């Protein structure tokens, strides 16, 4: 029975579970910045354990169920979710860097994340471009497409933090992360335009407005974090030749933070419409971690932006968002626990 259950879990494992790593990691980092180590450290250890388990299951699926995995990776609907593997690995790498000062493991996770990103991004784009049958924009596009942006910017953040420990000059390292930062922002502009077009000019069912739409905000929040991290690093690194692009990076960072702030009330109102007006039940599902991650990311990016631009008046916003993110993480974790308990109870019932 247990062997059959494990095989079923491996065969059907959706990569969206790596959004648990993203959400838990960013909330842990936010708690660390606020000095709440009693919260930050346990979440870090939880992330380590869950990440290893997910990697083992993913490796099993890759080895034994590769055709089904490839079909998902090259589909418009499920393919973008694979970028959570990249973002989750990079966020865990940032945890190793900030919480444990373990540069070697952080660097190992960066290398792994870059390799997975290259594999996923080109397999996904080639597969969807050459597909003979394609969905309409209404059916094929949603907030998960912005996980591409999240994955790129997560690499930019971790790469920037590890610049002094990379096996080449700081100039090359920072130039690479600046390029990643700019490419990520470009993809955001492209995809968010299509998403807004879909939302504004095509019918939207309440059932389809799922938690991943919070990534509309989370993608620009992590862009802000990448820009703030680059700003601080370039300012303190001598002789990189990148000082001239600092005003541009700062401008994009403020634009990204403003955009993320604009999204929050709109998404909250649409959530009220979904659950309060259309009575869609509020039940746990793995995509809800895609809601927790943007909340935690908004807290962290606001904190780092206030430091990078010397704007302390932003700090209270960050503190308030931390508690919102902690509550959201706790409620989602309780939902996960309840789902596991129900699943275990059903297995114990006799046929």
The 10s digit of each residue's pLDDT in 93-147 is: 999 999 999 999 999 999 999 999 999 999 999 999 999 889 988 888 888 999 9
DSSP 254-292: HHHHHHHHHHHHHHHHHHHIIIIIS-------GGGHHHH
Give the CA distances from residue 282 to residues 16, 215, 315, 331, in Å, rounded to whole numbers and listed in that order.
19, 19, 32, 12
Q: Cα-flanking dihedrals φ and ψ of residue 282, to 5°?
A: -95, 90
pTM over 0.85, yes/no: yes
What's the CA gap between 294 and 324, in Å, rounded? Answer: 11
Number of independent structural domains in the chain: 1
Domain region containing 230:
2-348
The 10s digit of each residue's pLDDT in 233-265 is: 999 886 778 888 999 999 999 999 999 999 999
The 10s digit of each residue's pLDDT in 79-102 is: 999 999 999 999 999 999 999 999
pLDDT band for 159, please (50, 70, 90 cuts).
very high
Residues 6+ apart with CB under 8 A from 213: 142, 143, 267, 270
Residues 6+ apart with CB under 8 A from 187: 148, 149, 152
User: How many helices (H) does the chain have, and how many strands (E)?
Assistant: 13, 0
| Nearest partner of 255 among 200, 300, 313, 189, judged by Cα | 189
Predicted pLDDT at 327: 96
pLDDT band for 350, please (50, 70, 90 cuts).
low
CA 153, distance to chain mean position in Å, is 9
Q: Are 258 and 227 in contact (CB under 8 A)?
A: no
CA 73, distance to chain mean position in Å, is 17
| Structural element, H or E, at residue 294 | helix 289-308
Q: Which of 151-160, 200-209, 282-291: highest mean pLDDT?
A: 151-160
Q: Are 155 and 90 in contact (CB under 8 A)?
A: yes
Strand, helix or coil for residue 65? coil
What's the CA gap between 92 and 211, in Å, rounded? Answer: 22
Q: What is the mean pLDDT of residues 167-180?
A: 91
Residue 113's Cβ-count burial label (10 Å; 0-12, 13-18, 19+) is: buried
Q: What is the mean pLDDT of residues 209-235?
A: 93
Predicted pLDDT at 4: 58
Predicted pLDDT at 13: 75
The 10s digit of each residue's pLDDT in 314-342 is: 999 999 999 999 999 999 999 998 888 88
The 10s digit of each residue's pLDDT in 1-52 is: 455 566 666 766 778 899 999 999 999 999 999 999 999 999 999 999 999 9
Q: Are 293 and 217 in contact (CB under 8 A)?
A: no
| Nearest partner of 329 among 57, 96, 30, 49, judged by Cα | 30
The CATH number for 104's domain is: 1.50.10.150
Please say if the pLDDT value at position 189 is more than 60: yes
Predicted pLDDT at 1: 46
Residues 6+ apart with CB under 8 A from 90: 109, 110, 113, 151, 154, 155, 157, 158
Q: What is the mean pLDDT of residues 199-207?
A: 86
Residue-averaged pLDDT of the chain: 91
Give the CA distances from residue 316 to residues 221, 231, 291, 312, 327, in Å, rounded to whole numbers and listed in that order.
17, 21, 22, 8, 17
């Amino acid at each position: 029975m247990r062997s059959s259950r494990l095989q079923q879990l491996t065969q059907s494992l959706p990569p969206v579970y790596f959004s648990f790593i993203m959400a838990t990691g960013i909330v842990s980092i936010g708690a660390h910045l606020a000095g709440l180590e009693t919260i930050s450290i346990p979440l870090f250890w939880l992330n380590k354990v869950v990440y290893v388990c997910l990697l083992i299951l993913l490796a099993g699926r890759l080895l034994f169920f590769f055709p089904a995995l490839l079909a998902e990776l090259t589909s418009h609907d499920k393919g973008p979710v694979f970028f959570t593997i990249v973002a989750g690995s990079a966020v865990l790498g940032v945890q190793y860097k900030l919480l444990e000062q373990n540069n070697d493991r952080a660097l190992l996770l960066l290398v792994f994340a870059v390799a997975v990103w290259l594999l996923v991004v080109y397999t996904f784009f080639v597969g969807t471009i050459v597909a003979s049958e394609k969905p309409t924009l209404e059916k094929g596009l949603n907030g998960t497409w912005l996980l591409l942006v999240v994955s790129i910017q997560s690499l930019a953040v971790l790469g920037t933090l590890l610049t002094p420990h990379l096996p080449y000059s700081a100039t090359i390292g920072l130039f690479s992360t600046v390029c990643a930062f700019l490419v990520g922002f470009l993809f955001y502009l492209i995809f968010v335009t299509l998403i807004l077009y879909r939302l504004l000019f095509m019918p939207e069912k309440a059932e389809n407005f799922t938690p991943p739409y919070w990534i509309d905000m989370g993608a620009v929040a992590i862009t802000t974090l990448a820009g703030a991290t680059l700003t601080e690093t370039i300012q303190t690194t001598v002789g990189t030749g990148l000082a001239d692009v600092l005003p541009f990076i700062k401008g994009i960072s403020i634009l990204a933070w403003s955009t993320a702030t604009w999204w929050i009330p709109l998404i909250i109102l649409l959530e009220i419409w979904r659950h309060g007006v259309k009575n869609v039940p509020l039940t746990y599902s793995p995509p809800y971690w895609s809601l927790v991650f943007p909340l935690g990311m908004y807290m962290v990016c606001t904190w780092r932006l206030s430091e990078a631009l010397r704007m302390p008046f932003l700090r209270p916003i960050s503190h308030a968002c931390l508690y919102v993110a902690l509550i959201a993480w706790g409620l989602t974790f309780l939902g996960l626990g309840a789902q596991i308990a129900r699943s275990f109870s059903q297995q114990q019932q006799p046929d």
